[in-house]
Chain A
């Protein structure tokens, strides 16, 4: 593909964020002592709830906000206080920020003009970029005459056309509908693979983060909760917050009774005792109140009596290839249990059910941690 070849000869650069902090006044600390190393060519998502500081972190990397303290290194240069236009980064904004008074082609040509690229080369590269995003022939349109998905692609092309080593994206798909979003995710992945650019991608959509990223940074209240691959985050969440935030999770309140070798004995529900491998527990001491996080697929419906827990079926929901049963247990907690299709929906709401769980797939956290 000729159009891609002209974009992919740039190598992605690494980004190192070192103890960066950003405060507004004395009360608000939007980003609190964040450190992060992004490898060249890596696709890293920053994931977190609203107000967790994702945009602020990205703005500091882009140069639109000055860090209160800390350092930022892009490639091998300290760019903590470098002006945004000198950083050479690409950026895609949530609402695209296509210049409404310029045609699509002029929008894409904008960064090239700023770099003094010759007219002939600009024309050639803009055409190549349009082809890359499958919008050939629409160069003379105004941005407002394009659909949301098309605008999105133009914004990506504009950010990439100057071959930046790093591309920043702030919730670039949040304004699109679900189907278009899935399609654009694929395109972004394709671009990332072919172009080789480092991507830092902000989102509050965990599915998006899980399906796109090499690694995910989970942020909460300005701090990093966990950095890891999607598998690590899903299987070994570092905190109850991460466990809750990523994937479906039910929590069981329990007390740690004893640690016996590589197993910990816990009492759930003031009655049932379960054995959990110590490797699944985070800083547990005997006697502590804990929360056991369980994924739906680690739970099974069973016959009452023979099961570890019992409760009442409140309802169930079809989720494609399987079903989710919602079971209220005696202490009032609601558990989500994955079943084969058709199984839970055969049962009447209100029927008593038993629950078995796979102790090797739970995570245990100290209460309040």
Chain B
């Protein structure tokens, strides 16, 4: 994608064998610390100890679990959309700024990333609680009489998750935008396109790889989001990760927890594949 345009490749400098040797530690770490435990965990879903689809069937048949998965997907999609709508303009701004201003905006995007999710979620509690800042402001402005119920709702979960995940949307889009040579937009302007037209016909399509990457990351992270919904969500905002953790840590029903994880993982993979397909189509390959 972006690399194709700048085309600075080190391919050919290192032989495949050298590259493999250099990669070995990473491969070992990946297999030992990720593939093996996850594989074992997922195997639990279908071997108990012999092959069985009992646990999977339980997950698929119960309306509770189906509903939770559907809600999780819906919230993840909504968060992705919101993060895109808010994040793209910021990424665009970042890619156009230089010097101090660029540093400032980049810091504004990155600093929250270095702050714990817990802290950022608590910040929303402080803002939105019954006697919180937002309610106080609304009352002071005379817009509301009694306090509004802003916390512990699905809308709050959306707002807080979007906030927490926003950098993951901004950074890939920013990267894609930065990789677009300024000449493309100049060429478009020169050829008669106004600022808006040149953005729509040139900049936006060329930033698609970044958009897809950002959306994919945010969507996948949302699917497994745990802390924020638990803190700012109401009891009805039960999401897949919470459900899995209940099964794993409360009920110690690991096979069933694995079955749920397997379904979540499968759903995630489907999304990845669909996104990739979308991406390759958009590149016209």
Contact = CB atoms under 8 A, between A and B. Distances in A.
Verify whether A and B have any Cβ pair under 8 Å. Answer: yes
A198 interface: no
B98 to A, nearest CB: 11
Interface in B124-142: none
Interface in A229-264: none
A24 B186 CA distance: 20
Interface string B185-206: 0111111111001100110011
Given A114-B197, A142-B284, A144-B4, A99 B190 contact: no
A101 B206 contact: yes
Interface string A206-222: 00000000000000000
Contacts of A111: 191-192
A162 B181 contact: no
B187 A115 contact: no
A84 B205 contact: no
Interface-central residue, B183, B186, B187, B189, by most chain A CB under 10 Å: B187
B143 interface: no
Contact of B202 (A87, A88, A99): A99
Interface residues of A, number: 28
Given A101-B205, A101-B206, A64 B192 contact: no
Contact of B206 (A83, A89, A100, A115): A100
A95 B191 contact: no
Q: Among B190, B198, B202, B206, which residue has the most Cβ atoms of chain A within 10 A?
A: B190
A156 B144 CA distance: 64
Contact of B186 (A83, A97, A114, A144): A97
B206 A114 contact: no
A110 B189 CA distance: 11
A158 B191 contact: yes
A30 interface: no
B58 interface: no
A136 interface: no
A103 B282 CA distance: 13
Interface in A136-169: 142, 144, 158-159, 162
Contacts of A142: 284
Nearest to B187: A97
B251 interface: no
Interface in B59-73: none
A254 to B, nearest CB: 48
B252 to A, nearest CB: 52
B189 A93 contact: no
A86 to B, nearest CB: 9
Interface of A: 62-64, 83-85, 87-91, 93-95, 97, 99-101, 103, 110-111, 114-115, 142, 144, 158-159, 162
Given A91-B186, A101-B282, 17 more contacts: A64-B186, A83-B189, A85-B192, A85-B194, A89-B190, A91-B190, A93-B186, A94-B183, A95-B181, A97-B187, A99-B184, A99-B188, A100-B5, A101-B283, A111-B191, A159-B190, A159-B191
